[in-house]
Structure 1
Amino acid sequence: MNDLLAGLAFFFIIEGLLYAAAPGFVKSLAAVLPEFAESQLRIGGIIAMGIGVFGIWLIRGF
């Protein structure tokens, strides 16, 4: 449970850092996202999850 809460905390840190450091980029990204098909966004999300799982696997071990 502690790992889950730590992961959520890191998510909020990274999300907050993105909004604080580059609010213009976030706004422009939000304006462009509707132009992508849902399937493209879904595939991008699956790839991002895979990279995250692989990263945790490398860091934590098998």
Structure 2
Amino acid sequence: MSDLIVALGLVLALEGTLYALAPGGMKAMMRAALETSDQTMRTAGLVALALGVLLVWFVRG
């Protein structure tokens, strides 16, 4: 359970850093996401999910 809390903390830290350092870039990325098709977003999400699971699997063994 503590690993999950640490992972969520890291996500928040990374997201916060992006918004603090490049708010204009984040707004542009959000606009681009709104213009992207649902299928493309779904595919990108599934790829990110698979890569994340593989990364954790390799690191944690």
TM-score w.r.t. structure 2 length? 0.90
**Misfit runs of 4+, over 3 Å:** none
What count of residue pairs does the alignment treat as equivalent? 61
Unaligned runs of 5+ residues in structure 1 are none
CA RMSD of aligned residues (A): 0.9
User: Could you tell me which residue of structure 2 aligns to residue 29 of structure 1?
Assistant: 29
TM-score w.r.t. structure 1 length? 0.89
**How high is the sequence identity, in percent, across the aligned residues?**
36
Q: CA deviation at 1:44?
A: 0.4
What amino acid sits opposite 1:48 in the alignment? Answer: A
2:41, 2:18 → 1: CA distance?
19
Unaligned runs of 5+ residues in structure 2 are none
